[in-house]
């Protein structure tokens, strides 16, 4: 399985089969075909890490191991284009009060669960750093190949800069990932400071640059995004990332924010709530990928009726569910 967001510049996955490794044949597995369906049981011959043959009752090979796969389902590895593996809960108070050690052990659990769920490549949109990525490559913990942004860049006091725990309870911490020595700044304080912030995450080993081009559903009403940076500054940030051959992903809600992200040169638009036909056409012309992140918005809508969310958040969650239905047909 391939994805335009699975950059060839990312580290190789751990455990890549070498020429000295023995091949194997999976017997009687249900295989996902080109139509998106699982058909009758088939055998799959794998040699030197490459699928060489798929068919019923493949011949025996004394140099290969036979594996009974009856009752199992085989499909390509899943590419998860947007995740925050360091965020184990929607409870922001829990996130900012959890010890650093607990956050990273929870991250290891999330990565292991992702791999067990069939995800073989994951793009983290802020929180995971180069150390986590490199630990996966080294085999220190099980998990998918990982591309990291280190931190998501935002304007000072805007969406992404701290956690909104309630009136008078704003947190100065970035809740997506715990702070640690050497973590690059995620908040851009000075006008024109976004390109310098891009250099900071690249110096820290980022594979992608993540920028908040607008507010989010918990910081502004859907359809009324709070613009974080001007068009020229977004373009300058993309130019800076491009100098180092790194692509840019942009969080953008609403038509104006999406169009601004596309015009600036973003490789992908994250969320895209309120996407219009005009904005979608602009994305198509530039070859920009939409990553709609459906699950968290559906989870948020489900929480609206549980009494867990405060009143202002319930209103936004319900409006988000409506906007999601209008954006993704």
Q: pLDDT category, 220, cuts 50, 70, 90?
A: low
- How do residues 98-135 score in pLDDT, each as one tens digit? 888 999 999 999 999 999 999 999 999 999 999 999 99
Alpha carbons 114 and 122: distance in angstroms, whole number: 9
Structural domains in the chain, sorted by start? 1-76 (2.30.40.10), 78-327 (3.20.20.140)
Per-residue model confidence (pLDDT) at position 72:
94
For 167, phi and psi rounded to 5 degrees?
A: -55, 125
Q: How far apart, in Å, are the Cα atoms of 202 and each of 126, 144, 158, 243, 266?
A: 13, 22, 22, 11, 16
Lowest mean pLDDT among 21-30, 111-120, 154-163, 295-304: 154-163
Three-state secondary structure call for residue 100 = helix
Alpha carbons 213 and 260: distance in angstroms, whole number: 8
For 161, phi and psi rounded to 5 degrees?
A: -105, 85
Q: Which of 242, 238, 241, 281 is nearest to 259 (CA)?
A: 281
Per-residue buried b or exposed e for 96-115, using 16+ beta carbons within 10 Å of the residue's own CB: beeeeeebbebbbebbeebb
Task: Find residue 66's DSSP bridge partners.
Answer: 25
Three-state secondary structure call for residue 300 = helix
Vertex 199 angle, CA 198 and 202, to 5°: 90
Per-residue model confidence (pLDDT) at position 244:
96
């Amino acid at each position: 399985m391939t994805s335009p967001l699975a950059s060839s510049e990312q580290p190789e996955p751990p455990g890549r089969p070498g020429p000295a490794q023995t091949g194997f044949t999976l017997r009687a597995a249900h295989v996902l075909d080109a139509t998106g369906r699982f058909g009758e049981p088939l055998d799959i011959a794998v040699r030197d890490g490459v699928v060489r043959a798929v068919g019923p009752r493949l011949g025996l090979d004394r140099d290969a191991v036979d594996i009974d796969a009856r009752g199992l389902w085989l499909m390509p590895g899943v590419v998860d284009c947007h995740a925050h593996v360091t965020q184990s809960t929607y409870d922001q108070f829990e996130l900012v009060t959890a010890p650093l050690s607990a956050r990273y052990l929870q991250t290891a659990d999330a990565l292991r669960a992702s791999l067990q769920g069939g995800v073989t490549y994951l793009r983290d949109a802020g929180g995971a750093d180069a150390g986590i990525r490199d630990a996966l490559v080294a085999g220190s913990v099980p998990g998918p190949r990982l591309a990291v942004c280190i931190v998501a860049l935002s304007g000072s006091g805007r969406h992404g800069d701290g956690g909104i725990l309630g009136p008078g309870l704003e947190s100065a911490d970035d809740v997506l990932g715990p702070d640690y020595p050497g973590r690059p700044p995620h908040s851009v304080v000075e006008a024109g400071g976004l390109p310098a912030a891009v250099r900071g995450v690249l110096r820290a080993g980022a594979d992608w640059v993540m920028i908040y081009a607008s507010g989010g559903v918990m910081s502004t009403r859907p359809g009324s995004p709070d613009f974080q940076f001007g068009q020229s500054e977004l373009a300058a940030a993309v130019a800076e990332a491009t100098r180092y051959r790194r692509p840019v992903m942009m969080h953008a809600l609403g038509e104006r924010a999406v169009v601004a992200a596309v015009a600036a040169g973003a490789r992908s638009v994250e969320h895209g709530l309120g996407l219009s036909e005009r904005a979608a056409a602009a994305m198509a012309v530039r070859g920009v990928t939409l990553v709609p992140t459906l699950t968290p918005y559906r989870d948020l809508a489900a929480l609206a009726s549980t009494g867990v969310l405060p009143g202002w958040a319930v209103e936004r969650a319900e409006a988000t569910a409506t906007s999601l239905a209008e954006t993704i047909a």
